[in-house]
Every structure is written in structure tokens, then in C-alpha cells.
């Protein structure tokens, strides 16, 4: 497959057109941002880790029945994906209180939620990705009811699959963010699944093995990303 013009450059990835109009090449970057782009930095090796990890998890999820955009890894930092149109939604799944949930509801970080929490944000950098609910999604026509049903079903399937998978590797899945896209009129899982988009804690020590180490200047950021990759592959 031929890599053509860059279509889009985001905070953590570049997306390129290819000679197949139904396929893109995604290139994962080492650039890291937090707090809606206010904090910027580099996590050496992150692109390689996130590419490998996303590929591995998307493959596992496809086997479990979660249709997604992943096709094939073609280099250290690049994968071929289906050319989806991303829905402007961030879908957040939480098992344990952390980050913005802990802050918003006054919960101690680490509090186990009695049942899984699903949240939506409107994907808009200028607005700071505000939290919305299903009524906003419907009223703003961000997704149809049928699409939303699939999104919710997939979000819980991803949670079940990843909780079990990471659990076997001695890692707790605290929370994560998903994005979905349209391909041939169908909703499929897209974007990435990595320590940038998941909170992952060591099961024994609760040590953070994710982007919070960067957000909170905790050090050993590169080491944490490599630790996760080492455990899962
Ligand atoms: N998340 C993400 N991108 C975002 C916002 C959140 O990948 O733009 C992930 C984040 O890494 C965490 C989960 O979604 O795993 C929940 O994040 P939270 O709402 O607590 O926000 P944060 O504390 O990251 O600002």
C-alpha cells in the first residue's frame, strides 16, 4: 500500500491517505499533551508502544466481536486502518474512580464503582470536550439511536474483554476512552487503545502505568509504557 498525502495531524497521531480510498495509514507520534493541549512534551518510544499495543488489542477485540478499524501493522509506528469518519464523541468507561470523575464527584481516587460507569463527551477542543448525555447526542444529531445502541454495546464488550485481558497480566483497568467511526454506513470502533487513553494500575501495588505519570510529572513515564507493552505481548 502506498502512503500518500497527510490528511490530518492530531496531538498523538498523523493520518495519511493511501492509494486505496478505503484505507488510511496511521502514524503514532512520541508527542504527548495533557489538559487540552496546555501541557506538551515527548515520551520517547510512545509511538512504538501505542502502535503495537493498539494493534494487539484491536485484533483481540475483533475476535471477541467488536468490529474495529484495525487492519495491519506495517512498521514500528504505523498501521493500516479502515478509512472511517470519526463521530465527534468521546466514550469513557470507568470501573474505578480517578481523574475528572474523582474530582467532579468528590470520590477518593481508587474508589471501586459498584457498577460500570459510561460517560460521553462532545469531541471539541475549543470547548474542552464537555461532558454530554444521550439526550444531547440525540438533539445535536451526533449519533442516531441505533448507532448509540451499538456504541454502548461495544463499549461494555471492550470493557469486559480488556478487564479480563489486563487482569491476566497483573494490571487493573481503571478507565478508558474510546472513539467510534462510520465505515460503509456502519459504526465501528476506531482511534487507539493505549496508555494514553487508558488508566492502568499495577494490580499489586496500584502503581500508575499510564499517561497520568506524564500529566502529574511522576517520572518514569517511558518505563511505564514499556512495562505495559512487555506484560501484554
Ligand atoms: N481520556 C482520553 N482523552 C481525553 C480525555 C480522557 O484518552 O481527551 C482518557 C483518560 O486517559 C482516562 C479516561 O479517558 O483513561 C478518563 O479520563 P478523565 O475523564 O478522568 O479525564 P482526565 O483526568 O484524563 O482529564
**Between β-strands 131-132 and 78-82, what pairing exists: parallel, antiparallel or unpaired?**
unpaired
CATH number for 210: 3.30.470.20
Kindly tell me the sign of the dihedral angle through the C-alpha atoms of 87, 176, 76, 62.
negative
DSSP secondary structure code for residue 35 in this structure: T
Tens-digit pLDDT profile for residues 174-203: 999 999 999 999 999 999 999 999 999 999
Confidence class for position 16, pLDDT limits 50, 70, 90: very high
- Please give the grid coordinates belonging to residue 81: 486502518
Q: Which of 30, 69, 67 is nearest to 50 (CA)?
A: 30
Beta strand 89-96 with 112-122 is antiparallel
Q: Is residue 231 part of a domain?
A: no
Predicted TM-score (pTM) above 0.95 = yes
Ligand 1 atom at minimum distance from 92 CA: 14
Domain count, the chain: 2
Nearest CA to ligand 1 atom 13: 176
Can you state the angle between helices 145-168 and 46-63, rounded to 10 degrees? 110
- Residues 6 or more apart in contact with residue 192 via CB below 8 angstroms: 12, 13, 26, 28, 50, 54
- pLDDT, one tens digit per residue, over 49-80 is 999 999 999 999 999 999 999 999 999 999 99
- Ligand 1 and 34: CB distance under 6 A: no
Q: Are residues 76 and 90 in the same domain?
A: no
What SS3 state is found at 189? Answer: strand
Query: Are 44 and 94 contained in the same domain?
Result: no
Residue 213 beta carbon below 6 angstroms from any ligand 1 atom = no
31 found inside a domain? yes
| Owning domain of residue 66 | 3-82
pLDDT value at residue 120 = 99
Widest CA span of the chain, in angstroms?
A: 51
| The three grid cell numbers given for residue 229, joined into one nine-digit string | 507493552
Give a yes or no: residue 228 inside a domain.
no
CATH, residue 16:
3.30.200.20
Cα 19 to ligand 1 centre (Å) = 34
Per DSSP, the three-state class of 156 is helix
Amino acid at each position: 500500500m502506498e502512503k500518500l498525502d497527510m490528511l490530518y495531524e492530531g496531538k498523538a497521531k498523523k493520518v495519511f491517505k493511501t492509494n486505496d480510498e478505503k484505507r488510511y495509514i496511521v502514524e503514532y507520534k512520541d508527542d504527548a499533551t495533557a489538559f487540552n493541549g496546555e501541557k506538551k512534551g515527548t515520551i520517547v518510544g510512545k509511538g512504538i508502544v501505542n502502535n503495537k499495543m493498539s494493534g494487539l488489542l484491536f485484533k483481540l477485540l475483533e475476535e471477541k466481536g467488536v468490529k474495529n478499524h484495525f487492519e495491519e501493522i506495517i512498521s514500528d509506528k504505523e498501521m493500516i486502518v479502515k478509512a472511517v469518519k470519526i463521530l465527534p464523541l468521546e466514550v469513557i468507561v470507568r470501573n474505578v474512580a480517578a481523574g475528572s470523575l474523582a474530582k467532579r464527584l468528590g470520590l477518593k481516587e481508587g474508589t471501586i464503582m459498584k457498577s460500570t460507569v459510561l460517560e460521553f463527551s462532545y469531541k471539541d477542543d475549543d470547548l474542552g470536550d464537555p461532558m454530554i448525555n444521550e439526550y444531547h447526542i440525540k438533539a445535536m444529531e451526533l449519533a442516531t439511536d441505533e448507532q448509540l445502541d451499538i456504541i454502548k454495546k461495544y463499549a461494555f464488550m471492550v470493557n469486559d474483554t480488556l478487564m479480563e485481558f489486563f487482569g491476566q497480566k497483573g494490571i487493573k483497568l481503571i478507565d478508558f476512552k474510546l472513539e467510534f467511526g462510520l465505515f460503509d454506513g456502519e459504526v465501528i470502533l476506531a482511534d487507539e487503545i493505549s496508555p494514553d487513553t487508558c488508566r492502568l494500575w499495577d494490580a499489586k501495588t496500584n502503581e500508575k502505568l499510564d499517561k497520568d505519570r506524564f500529566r502529574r510529572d511522576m517520572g518514569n513515564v517511558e518505563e511505564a509504557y514499556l512495562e505495559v507493552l512487555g506484560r501484554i505481548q
